[in-house]
Amino acid sequence: MEAGMNTRTKNTGVGLAAVAALVLTGCSGGGGESPNTGLLEGAQLTAGSKEFTESVILSQITAHALEDAGATVEDQTGISGSATVREALASEEIDFYWDYTGTGWVNILGNTTEDAPEDLYDAVATADAENGIAWLDPAPFENTYRIAVKQDFATENGLATQSDAADFINANPDRARVCAASEFINRDDGLPGLEEAYGFEFSRVVELDLNLIYTQVGDTCEFGEVFSTDARIAANDMQVLEDDREFFVEYQGAMTLRQETLDQYPEIAEIMAPISERLTNETMMQLNGRVDTDGEDPSDVAEEWLQEQGLIGS
């Protein structure tokens, strides 16, 4: 690829129906420097993701790696809602996206948070295989739902755990507003289940785009839904409340794709294995922060990280 040339058309942050079918030209990132040159020569794949930053970054990382191996990748990242992106995968509108074990267990497979097994990844991968969906080996990072407050609010009111917050909310309903995104508000492993597990109810639920929540906690709301690997937690001086009753199930990230795609291109698993291994909590927070806090482009962040790690050609 020539210096400065970017073959990926960026459609992040928009719904699937609104994404133009713009095919990206696959190319090798660095000739002999690439560890995977030619492994996917001639493959034509479509990248999907959910709408939030981390999901987009993960799919951009994957797309760049597959392009580096010779594939042509169409970008349809930024699909709104877990159910929508999963349906896009099942219906062959996209070929891969990253999901989370907790989402797989509860939202895709229809289980509850109470009956989650110890090896959640294995249970999800085994069960979803019956649906024709493959889960590649998971990355070591875990991105769980959490509730957070401003640091000074936590200190002032002695809030360290979700149980502390439940007691505070029951005693102070006038200071019990929560900012949350639509999906969290309606998921059994989200707000409804959390309130039931801890025996409280927020006095007001303010539905916001996920990206707006971090700046509105301490203003519009006392409490807010956050993702545990989001760099904006520290950037906005927030404290994450400990889930002391362990309500939230494990949300370990893994690439998902149809088994037929993996059977056709088994090299995908080989290419992705060393990449997934390096996606730690710290790495994901740094990558998320470069986009959400520093304003960088997800595709650029993904490509630069892969090059720095020697995982694609430069």
Report DSSP state, residue 80.
Answer: S
Q: Which residue has the tokens 């009111």?
A: 157
Confirm whether pTM is higher than 0.85: no
Which helix (H) or strand (E) element contains residue 148?
strand 145-150
- Per-residue burial over 155-190, b = 16 or more CB atoms within 10 Å of its CB, e = otherwise: eebebeebbbbbbbbeeeeeebbbbbbebbeebebb
31: left (phi over 0), alpha (psi -120 to 50) or beta: left
Alpha-carbon distance of 184 to 110, in angstroms, equals 16
pLDDT in tens, 180-212: 999 899 988 899 999 999 999 999 999 999 889
Report DSSP state, residue 314.
Answer: -
pLDDT of 25 strictly over 70 = no
Which helix (H) or strand (E) element contains residue 126?
helix 120-129
Cβ–Cβ < 8 Å for 263, 134: no
| φ, ψ of residue 290 in degrees (nearest 5) | -65, -30
pLDDT band at residue 57 using 50, 70 and 90 as cut-offs: very high
β-strand 177-180 against 223-227: which pairing, if any? parallel
pLDDT of 314 strictly over 70 = yes
Least confident of 33-37, 99-103, 280-284: 33-37
Q: What is the mean pLDDT of the chain?
A: 90
Q: Which two tokens stand for residue 278?
A: 């390096």
Longest pairwise C-alpha distance within the chain: 65
User: CA triplet 229, 138, 15: central angle to 5 degrees?
Assistant: 65
| φ, ψ of residue 192 in degrees (nearest 5) | -60, -45
Report DSSP state, residue 312.
Answer: S
Domains observed in the chain: 16-142+253-308 (3.40.190.10), 145-240 (3.40.190.120)
Cβ–Cβ < 8 Å for 222, 174: no
List all residues 6 or more positions away from 249 whose beta carbon is below 8 Å from its beta carbon. 101, 102, 105, 106, 113, 116, 120, 189
Q: Which two tokens stand for residue 128?
A: 């979803």
Question: Who has greater pLDDT, 60 or 1?
Answer: 60
List all residues 6 or more positions away from 216 whose beta carbon is below 8 Å from its beta carbon. 179, 206, 208, 224
User: CA triplet 74, 59, 95: central angle to 5 degrees?
Assistant: 50
Q: Which residue has the tokens 């990844």?
A: 121
| φ, ψ of residue 264 in degrees (nearest 5) | -75, -35
pLDDT of 52 strictly over 70 = yes
pLDDT in tens, 85-110: 999 999 999 999 999 999 999 999 99
Cβ–Cβ < 8 Å for 198, 162: yes
